[in-house]
Amino acid sequence: MKGTAEIVRNARAAGIVVPAFNIPYLPMLQPVVRAVRDEDSFALVQVARLEWEKFSSRSLEAVAEEFRRHADPEHVRLHLDHVPVIDEDHAAVDYLPILRRAVAAGYQSVMVDGSRLSLEENIRATRAAAELAHQAGIPCEAELGAVLGHEEGPLPPYEELFASGRGFTDPVEAARFVRESGCDWLSVAIGNIHGAVSKAARDQKKVEARLSLDHLSKLAAATGIPLVLHGGSGIRAEDLRQAFARGIAKLNVGTEIRQAYETALRGTGSEPKAQEAVRLRTRSLIAQTYQISGSRARL
């Protein structure tokens, strides 16, 4: 069986994306796996620290246990998303023990997020995380640049952010970062933003983001490794598909399927109906937006 690192490298080489679906509520996991299987594609199922801190996924171990109930290694693998060194509330996080817990729980790839640190501090933190992951035989994702959206309070106007290039990942820094940190995949900022996670804003429709594709091409050339796009919900479909051809091999998707679940649950009071809403939305994204139905065999 191919490892997750090899599959994501194959995706980069083929210009295909591996979507990574976030699980803020445990009942969402089963319909996501069903949808990926229905479309004969390949995806990661993932959970971020904030999803057990601020939503209802309970813990990384609870998600791993639920994953084992529905696991289909030909179609899905388990990834630990965003473990920050400094979190969205600007608090320091003891991140290495969380990564060790993920390894013990059977996660097949992990992410450390040192993007709120200086470049040198981010390299040091990521190197420690990558060494831990590699000792367990799994890949490590990192982030460089500022993918905004998880912080409390309103963002500046999106057009202002995009025009200024505020927070965009610097290609020269990215080349150094990859070389010195040992990360396997790099999350980059090229116009993408996270969905809001504060209780006051989490139901709001995301701004339709666009991507600086020329900037992405520079990052792909500078780094030579699979790149990751966080904040994948709400980005123009044409931009996404062009990004897959330019080095984005993993795409994080949270808001679109989370809001489908929450809206259906509020409207019907039925968990099975909410799960079906997640399954249908996930299938639509795979088939229509990403256009990767039937891609599993190519990876």
Residue of 280, 281, 261 whose CA lies nearest to 271: 261
Asked whether the beta carbons of 82 and 54 are under 8 A apart, the reply is no
In a domain, 147, yes or no: yes
Given a cut of 90, is residue 147 above it in pLDDT? Answer: no
In a domain, 175, yes or no: yes
CA distance 96 to 182: 16
CA distance 128 to 73: 28
Query: Which of 39-48, 80-89, 265-274 is least confident?
Result: 80-89
DSSP, collapsed to helix, strand or coil, labels residue 30 as helix
Structural domain of residue 177, as residue ranges? 4-293
pLDDT for 200: 42
Given a cut of 70, is residue 154 above it in pLDDT? Answer: no
143 C-beta neighbours (distance < 10 Å), count: 26
What are 281-290's pLDDT values in tens digits?
Answer: 999 999 999 9
What CATH number does residue 150 fall under? 3.20.20.70
pLDDT for 86: 96
pLDDT for 148: 63
Residue 81 is among the residues annotated as catalytic for this protein:
yes
Asked whether the beta carbons of 49 and 83 are under 8 A apart, the reply is yes
Instruction: Give the containing element (helix H, strand E) for 185.
Output: strand 185-188
In a domain, 114, yes or no: yes
Better pLDDT: 208 or 113? 113
In a domain, 157, yes or no: yes
Given a cut of 70, is residue 196 above it in pLDDT? Answer: no
pLDDT for 139: 98
DSSP assignment letter at 225 = S
Percentage of the chain beyond pLDDT 90 is: 82
Given a cut of 90, is residue 297 above it in pLDDT? Answer: yes
What are 57-76's pLDDT values in tens digits?
Answer: 999 999 999 999 999 999 99
In a domain, 20, yes or no: yes
Given a cut of 50, is residue 251 above it in pLDDT? Answer: yes
pLDDT for 151: 45
pLDDT for 52: 96
63 burial type by CB count under 10 A (0-12 exposed, 13-18 middle, 19+ buried): buried
Q: Which of 81, 87, 113, 239 is catalytic?
A: 81
In a domain, 298, yes or no: no
DSSP, collapsed to helix, strand or coil, labels residue 270 as coil
pLDDT band at 210 (very low <50, low <70, confident <90, very high): confident
pLDDT for 158: 63
What are 11-58's pLDDT values in tens digits?
Answer: 999 999 999 999 999 999 999 999 999 999 999 999 999 999 999 999
Q: What mean pLDDT value characterizes the chain?
A: 91
In a domain, 299, yes or no: no
Q: What is the dihedral of CA 172, 178, 181, 182, to 10 degrees?
A: -170
Concatenated DSSP letters of 55-68: SB---HHHHHHHHH
In a domain, 45, yes or no: yes
pLDDT for 273: 98
Better pLDDT: 84 or 167? 84
**What pTM, to 2 d.p., does this model score?**
0.91
pLDDT band at 232 (very low <50, low <70, confident <90, very high): confident
Q: How many domains does the chain have?
A: 1
Asked whether the beta carbons of 183 and 113 are under 8 A apart, the reply is no
pLDDT for 108: 98
